[in-house]
Each structure stands twice: as C-alpha cells, then as structure tokens.
Amino acid sequence: MEEGVAVIRIANPPVNALGAAVRAGLADALAHATADPEVRAILITAEGRTFIGGADITEFGKPAVPPTLPELIAALDACPKPVVAAIGGATLGGGLEMALACHARVASADAKLGLPEVKLGLVPGAGGTQRLPRLIGAAQALPLILEGTAVDAAQALRLGMVEEASEGDLLPAARRRALALAEAGGALPRIRDRQDRLGPREAFEAAAAAASKRAAGNPAALACIDCIRAAFEKPFDAALAFERETFLRLMQDERSKALRHVFFAERAIARIPGQPRDVMPRRVGRAAVVGAGTMGGGIAMVFANAGIPVTVIETAQEALDRGLARVAANYATSVQRGSLLPEERDRRMALIEGRLGLDAAATADVVVEAVFEDLGLKREIFAHLDRVARPGALLASNTSYLDIDAMAQATGRPGDVLGMHFFSPANVMKLLEVVRGAATSPDALATAVELGRRLGKVPVVVGACHGFVGNRMLARRTAQAERLLLEGAAPEEVDAALVEFGFRMGQFAMIDLAGLDIGWRVRKATGKTAPVADALCEAGRLGQKAGRGYYSYPDGARQGVPDPAVHELIGRIAAQLGIPRREIGREEITERLILPMIDEGARILEEGIAARPGDIDVVWLNGYGWPAWRGGPMYHGDVLGAATVARRLEAHAERSGDASLRPSTALDRLARDGQEFGALARATA
C-alpha cells in the first residue's frame, strides 16, 4: 500500500483469465481492502502483458463456482471506496466487464479493450451490454459488441471507455486517479447510474436495424442487439438479469458450442507433436520468392506487409515487370478503397525488389518457391537453390499438391526443406499449411510456424502427402460435385446446397472465380480426368475471366447466371458414359458433398497427416470458407456421429453405384466402436 492506495495484483499466466481461483482471490482482497480503515482507495492491476484476457472459457457449460463473475462484478460496483482499473495490454470479455464495474479506468499506451463474446456465439454475460452503452452511448457501443473487435488505448480514450491513457508509467497515473476520487468525496461515479449517457434511442434503433439485416441467421448477434435495447427499456438490474439469461441460453446453443470448439482448436495448433520443447526458430530478416505470378506476387506482398524485405525472382524481365505491376495495382486498389494510406503503400513497395536469376536468393533467410505445379521444374529450382542459398536458409515450396520429400531429395540439405502452402489470394487468406517433410528439422519447422504468425497467418502443421489436408479433402468434394452433375443435378443446385449449409460460395461458383484451367492443368499433369470440367475447358469456358464457365457472366458480371448450354453439355456427357439422370434432392446433394470430406479426414488422421481433428477444422475454417458456426468438418462429423456418417455414405454408394462413397476402414472402425474422431489422432500420436 502506498499513500493509502491498496494494490490488488492479478497473476494468472499466461493471460490472467478470470478462473474460479482468481475470482475468489479478487473477492477476498477486495473485502480486506474495504474493511481496512487505512485504505483510502483500491487499484487493480495485473502482471504480464495482459490485464485480463477474459473469463476462463474452460468453465463454460460446467456448474458455477462462487464467486461467479457477475457476483465479483457486483461487489466491485458496490464497493464504498474508489476502485480504479490500471489496464495494461489486452483487456477482453469478462476482463473489460470487470474494468467497467470499477469507478475509473486508466489504460497504458499498449492497451487493447474489447468484448469478443459474439465470436463465441455468446453475448457479454457480466454487464458488458449494459455498462458499455451507458459509458459511451448505445449507438457507439453497438458495433464494438456486435463485431467483437478490440480498440487501442487512443481509440478507447476518444470513445470514453477510459478516463485516461497514460504514455508513461501506468501505476502512478492510476494511483493519482484513485486518490483524486477519494479526496473528492461524495457519491462515487458508477456506470450503472448513467442512464442519460445511452444517447438518443432513434440513433440506436437506426444502427440496430441495419445491423440486424447483416446479422440475419446469427442468434448471438441478434441477441446482443436485444440486450442493448433492454438498456433503454428496463431498469439496470432487470436489464442485467435479461443479459445473463440470454448468455446462459446461448451457452446451450449448438452454434456457440461449435464456436467454442473453434476457439480451442485455433489455440491447440501451436502445440506441434514431436517438437522438442527447447527448439528455437532461426532468424528471418530477408526473404526471396521464386516466381512473380499471381501467387508469387501475393506472397511477396505478405512479406512486405510484415516489414520483411523480399526479392521477387523471375527468369525473364517481361514476366518480372508484369508481376511487380500486379503487386503495385493491388496496393493501389487498397489505397483507393481507403484501407491503406499512400505513404504505407510506398513503404511496402520499397521493401519489394525484382531480380532475374536464382542467384538473387543468395542473401535470403527464407526462400519460397512459387512457380507452377511441375515437380520436375521444382526439383531443378531446389537443386539450384541448394547451391546458392546461404547455409541455414529455409527452403520452402508453395506447392498445393506435390511431393515435398522429392524436392528435398534434390538438395543436400533436406532438413531445411518444407512446404509453406499459402492460399489464394495470398495477401488476403489467413491459412498457411506448413508441410513437414520426412527430413524437415525441428528448428526449420519452428521457423516456418513462427514466421507464419509473424506474417499474420494461421499456420497449421501438416504431413506430406498429395494435397496435404485441405486440397486432399477438397478433391473428394470436387469429385462428388462432378458426379452429381452427371447423375442429374445442375451446377446451381449443387452450389445452393453448399450456400444453404453455410458456405459463402458454392463449388462451381468458386471454380469459375479461380479459373477452370487451374484444375485442368493439374489433371493433365497427374493423368486424371473430370468429364464435365474437361469438356468446359476444351470449349473455352474457363470461368469468370472468359465470361463463361459453369455459369455465364454477361457483360462482365461478377455474379454468374445458369446457362442452358452447360445443362445440355452435361446431359450429353452423361448419356455418352451411360449414367442415367434423375432428380436429386437437396439433402442428398449436401450429404454427398460433405460426408466424403469427413471420411477423408478420418483417413488423414489415421495416417498421421494431421495431428488432431481440430487441426483439420482450422484448415477448413481459415482456407476454404467452412462456416465457423458449424465448427469444422471433423467437429461436424462428431456432431452427426461416426456411425451416422458411415451409414449415410453406404446408402449413397448403394443408390448411386459410386463405390468411392463407401466409408473408409478408419471411419468404419469409429462407427463400430462408437468413438469420436479424436480417437484416431490419439492412436497415431
């Protein structure tokens, strides 16, 4: 205690989550400070880089352990002595709700404040929807609560979320604020009493109406709106009770359960099976990208965006100029949209240089090969890089499908070789599949994962096989989509089934956007065929860029329209192949697209290509648009049950005559034993 200010310090690494023990300790310390006549004011602070990362969500769905978070917050709110929150670092969810119950808030320059509960399918459940609107106005609070995004200290100060943003030492500033409150005397400022700060009801309702349209089908977002509306319609305690009831109801919602699975799965990917605990990543100060095509240019932007100088390498000046011009155009578009300042565009462009010849990779700490999918060419490139790259440089391929081990064998340093599979467009998509080869060293793997995070990606370690995790599963869906066309479904019916399931885009609309020639080139290289897709390519229907693919795009439209010519072409091919056509219902279409992916995931787990079912889910959530509220393909498989998945696949195989639909031995075993998909991962760990 100093100058009559008692300091309560939270120490619960790594993020000071408000678990039962922390809540009990806070309640006890608060009671002692309140009873101590020497204490004039109370300061709450925390150790580490986080004030309070939120509630302990491992407790969600379990019996409540007193004091609950609402009980602790009520005690803070009712404290007769001034309580000030000294907020350093992240203050999220229940942490911010606790800070809002204090009589004042002082933030450090690095503070981040937010209520991210909606991302878990929940509403703030300990007063967030009631106190924040009364502090900064309901119309201003609405987007913060609905989007779940955090604001920095400067924004928080402008909004009125904190009374002070300290550029210097946080604790002296917070102590001064606490003493000033103590010396002022009189009633302490409590947010619950600031009904007049809600702002005009009309402004809130206008914002809520627009938000409701965007949030249609999202029960958590709609519930957040209802809770904020209750601040206008109910006394504070009644509104608080309504918020809590809503929180507990959503806790049992299947969408919320799926989103909580996603939360844990995205944190579990940091734990890499088989990695020594003491392994350290290598230093990466400079990068090189081989290939200035769409992917190569996008990857170069990713490095520049992270502040890492990068050399883009090509074999011909014309290709290099074209690639760098595409990068410049991408940045210009961002400036035009207002998402990037011109000076930041210039800074990033200055970090990208173009060079001819692989010798330009000599100074790079990481080299990413991003040429087209030809294994022979890639092996030549890796053999050359082996000669010119500096010792210890990471040699990575951006291949989507091909054999990482074959590339590594072309070098004398296979431990430095792995896959870094970025997703298109590389400067936008979050997923990074880090492909561990048979000889990849632990420190090379650690370097790629740490670099992925530094680049703002979600890195998932996967094993080496054709297509790795994401594209291997996508291949099963693509094969079924093609087969469904031949059996009688139209492209728009297949796409509608996926959109109804929750994807933003259907299978064939996605292929049209990417270009049919990409898959055509891969099939030619691997000796595979897809009768409908191949026929469309041969007819010059290469997708949006050609104005026609599975759909037609009249006058350059971005939204495709069904084309009778495609329907006729599909019918002719089906007749040539002797496949009888029939009407196929929406449920069958959905199951035949989704269930084979789950089956392939079982194979992937059995083979050890993915370490955990959640790793597969993270891949599909961040790289392929799987709806987060369904938790991922393997989570969805567990919701259905392995026995149901196997039974339905068997039925579809029988009805369609497509033997590829029959369940794998891995899935059959889970179905027989009544196990979840995690059992396969445990068996291969």
Q: Sort strands 417-422 and 431-436 into parallel, antiparallel or unpaired.
A: antiparallel
User: In the chain, which stretches have pLDDT less than 50?
Assistant: 683-685
The whole-number pLDDT of residue 521 equals 86
The whole-number pLDDT of residue 588 equals 97
CA distance 104 to 498: 49
Query: Which H, E and C letters describe 613-646, residue by residue?
Result: HHHHHHHHHHHCCCCHHHCCHHHHHHHHCHHHHH
Of 420, 417, 421, nearest in space to 437 by CA? 417
The whole-number pLDDT of residue 683 equals 44
Q: Sort strands 112-114 and 83-87 into parallel, antiparallel or unpaired.
A: unpaired
CB-based contacts of 139: which residues, under 8 Å, 6+ apart? 199, 200, 203, 204, 206, 207
The whole-number pLDDT of residue 682 equals 55
CB-based contacts of 38: which residues, under 8 Å, 6+ apart? 1, 4
The whole-number pLDDT of residue 684 equals 43
Q: Sort strands 561-562 and 551-552 into parallel, antiparallel or unpaired.
A: antiparallel
CA distance 597 to 614: 14
Of 20, 26, 27, 91, nearest in space to 57 by CA? 20
Ramachandran quadrant class, 112 (left: phi over 0; alpha: psi -120 to 50; beta: rest): beta
Q: Say how many C-beta atoms besides its own lie within 10 A of residue 110's C-beta.
A: 13
Of 490, 319, 465, 477, nearest in space to 404 by CA? 465
| Active site positions, annotated | 97, 117
Q: Which tokens hold the place of 46?
A: 């925390």
Q: Which tokens hold the place of 52?
A: 């309070």
Burial class of residue 637 in the structure, from the number of CB atoms within 10 Å of its CB (0-12 exposed, 13-18 middle, 19+ buried): buried
Q: Which tokens hold the place of 605?
A: 């787990």
The distance from CA 386 to its chain's CA centroid, rounded to whole angstroms, is: 35
Read off the amino acid at residue 325: A
3-state secondary structure of 650: helix
The whole-number pLDDT of residue 214 equals 87
Rounded to two decimals, the pTM is 0.89
3-state secondary structure of 522: helix
**β-bridge mates for residue 421, sequence order:** 433
